[in-house]
């Protein structure tokens, strides 16, 4: 067994225990984001990150080697040119459409039309989404993942560094994906004017997600699958609309994922304060709640703290603009709030691109102190 494999097993146990609401040997640490390229390559820009993906992946891996307390694997570069495809959006990249060190952007063009709800209902989401990506100018060739490279990098991350992937496949919930494909403004109008079509299309999407997840979970046995949510919470939607357009699909897909023997990691961007109690409908310790720092962390502890593992939630703005002392204090506060069971120390969303290494080290120090 290599040092990496030994570390991997130790970390896997730590993370699994936290996910099961138990008390691990120490609180797991999950930190990652585009800033990691700079810790080993201080002169690197975000255009390096997106335009030199193999070089960037190597730099990120070297940065993780500098921070051996982190337990979870980084999201490696992938093809950023086509990353907007996940949201049916066009992608603007630093060094091409944007300044060299700007964060990449997704331009939500709303290429899906009102008639396309029927296409989804009649032909299925898989067929329609391929058609929509073509309309957006993404070719099948561009979107094809380089499996060989990915496998090589995953092996390196696991065997050299012993880092653990917390979740497998990602499912962007039907409400979120349609609001992006159609564009938010048009989608909200559709919800008001043609709710039945919207619901029928979302039913199709949810069923296809379930079928695809079943296959994925049986083959890969991930610790969890990723459920992406952002616009469906109480920052945007009225509770009435949440109950009609958002919750039924979260519930249906999650129940099916759990039935396959995996957990579900909810990456919930924006505010969900008023929606939190719905998550108590799932079996205890079957989910992980992963907020982005906009949902009140004290409320999360109050409503879900005894029921599911929570990752939390050092705010990206604090990581990027705060001092090491402020970051240390925030992380300590999280440990005081959650204790050592069922908690994973993490950034709210990903670590932003210019977060200083000292701030990352401060969060790690607070966690290691326990």
| Under 8 Å between Cβ of 51 and 27 | no
Tell me the closest approach of the beta carbon of residue 295 to another protein, in angstroms.
10
- Contacting another protein (CB under 8 A), which of 24, 53, 232, 352? 352
- Residue 169 as a binder of another protein (CB under 8 A): the answer is no
- Of 170-209, binders to another protein (CB under 8 A) are 184-185, 188-189, 191-192
Helix axes 147-159, 53-66, angle to 10 degrees: 10
- Asked whether position 101 contacts another protein by CB under 8 A, the answer is no
Pairing of strands 29-30, 343-347: parallel
Closest CA to 30 of 89, 75, 92, 95: 75
Contact flag: residue 144 with another protein (CB under 8 A): no
Considering beta carbons, is residue 217 or 300 the nearer one to another protein? 300
Query: Quick one: which of 57, 176, 290, 292 contacts another protein (CB under 8 A)?
Result: 292
CA angle 358, 362, 368 (to 5 degrees): 140
Calpha distance 197→174 (Å, rounded): 13
Judged by CB under 8 A, the chain residues 248 through 287 that form the site for another protein are: 269-271
**Contacts (CB under 8 A) with another protein, residues 103-122:** 103-109
Segment contacting another protein (CB under 8 A): 12-20, 36-44, 204-212, 233-241? 233-241
The piece of 47-55, 116-124, 257-265, 290-298 that touches another protein (CB under 8 A) is 290-298
Residue whose entry in the numeric block shows the structure tokens 């519930």: 251
Q: Which of 19, 12, 18, 17 minimizes the C-alpha distance to 286? A: 19
Contact range with another protein by CB under 8 A, out of 90-98, 276-284, 304-312, 337-345: 90-98
Identify the residue among 86, 321, 337, 357 touching another protein (CB under 8 A): 321
Cα–Cα distances (Å) from 75 to 80, 163, 239, in that order, read: 12, 11, 33
Distance CA 37, CA 354 (A): 10
CB of 263 to another protein, least distance (A): 23
Tell me: does residue 53 bind another protein (CB under 8 A). Answer: no
Judged by beta carbon, residue 67 or residue 234, the one nearer another protein is 234
Residue 92 lies near another protein (rule: CB under 8 A): yes
Q: Which is nearer to another protein, 62 or 241 (CB)?
A: 241
Q: Site for another protein (CB under 8 A): which residue of 251, 332, 354, 361? A: 354
Tokens of 317: 């703005």
223 binds another protein (CB under 8 A): no
339 binds another protein (CB under 8 A): no
As measured in angstroms, the least distance from the Cβ of 110 to another protein is 9
- Please report how close the Cβ of residue 162 comes to another protein at its closest, in angstroms: 27
Piece of the chain touching another protein by CB under 8 A; list 236-244, 282-290, 298-306, 356-364: 236-244
Binder of another protein out of 50, 76, 166, 237 (CB under 8 A): 237
Residue 347 pairs with which residues in a beta bridge? 314
Size of interface with another protein, in residues (CB under 8 A): 44
State the distance between the two ends of the chain, measured CA to CA, in whole angstroms: 29
- Non-local CB neighbours of 188 within 8 Å, separated by 6+ positions: 179
Least spacing, CB of residue 340 vs another protein, in Å = 27
- The answer to whether residue 100 forms part of the interface with another protein (CB under 8 A) is no
Contacting residues toward another protein, per CB under 8 A: 33, 90, 92, 98, 102-109, 184-185, 188-189, 191-192, 230-231, 234-238, 241, 269-271, 292-294, 316-318, 320-322, 348-350, 352-354
């Amino acid at each position: 067994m290599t040092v990496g494999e030994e570390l991997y097993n130790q970390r896997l146990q730590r993370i699994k225990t936290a996910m099961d609401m138990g008390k691990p040997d120490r609180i797991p640490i999950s930190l990652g984001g585009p800033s990691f390229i700079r810790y080993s390559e201080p002169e690197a820009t975000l255009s390096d990150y997106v335009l030199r993906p193999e070089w960037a992946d190597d730099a990120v891996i070297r940065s993780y080697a500098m921070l051996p307390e982190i337990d979870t694997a980084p999201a490696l570069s992938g093809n950023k040119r086509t990353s907007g495809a996940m949201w049916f959006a066009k992608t603007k990249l630093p060094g091409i459409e944007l300044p060299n060190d700007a964060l990449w952007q997704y331009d939500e063009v709303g290429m899906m039309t009102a008639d396309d709800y029927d296409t989804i209902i009649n032909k299925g989401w898989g067929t329609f989404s391929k058609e929509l990506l073509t309309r957006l100018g993404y070719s099948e060739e561009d979107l094809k993942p380089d499996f060989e490279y990915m496998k090589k990098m995953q092996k390196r991350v696991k065997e050299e560094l012993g880092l653990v992937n917390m979740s497998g496949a990602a499912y962007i919930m039907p409400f979120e994906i349609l609001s992006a494909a159609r564009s938010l403004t048009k989608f909200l109008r559709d919800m008001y004017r043609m709710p039945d079509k919207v619901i029928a299309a979302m039913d199709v999407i949810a069923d296809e997600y379930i079928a695809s997840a079943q296959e994925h979970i049986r083959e890969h046995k991930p610790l969890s699958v990723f459920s992406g949510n952002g616009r469906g919470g109480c920052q945007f939607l009225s509770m009435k609309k949440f109950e009609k357009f958002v919750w039924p699909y979260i519930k249906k897909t999650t129940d099916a994922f759990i039935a396959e023997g995996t957990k579900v990691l909810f990456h919930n961007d924006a505010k969900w304060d008023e929606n939190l109690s719905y998550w108590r409908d799932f079996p205890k310790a079957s989910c992980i709640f992963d907020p982005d720092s906009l949902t009140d962390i004290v409320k999360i502890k109050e409503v879900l703290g005894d029921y599911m593992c929570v990752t939390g939630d050092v705010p990206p703005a604090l990581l990027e603009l705060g001092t090491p002392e402020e970051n240390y204090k925030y992380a300590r506060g999280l440990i005081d709030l959650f204790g050592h069971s069922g908690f994973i120390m993490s950034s709210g969303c990903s670590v932003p691109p210019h977060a200083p290494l000292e701030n990352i080290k401060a969060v790690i120090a607070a966690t290691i102190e326990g």
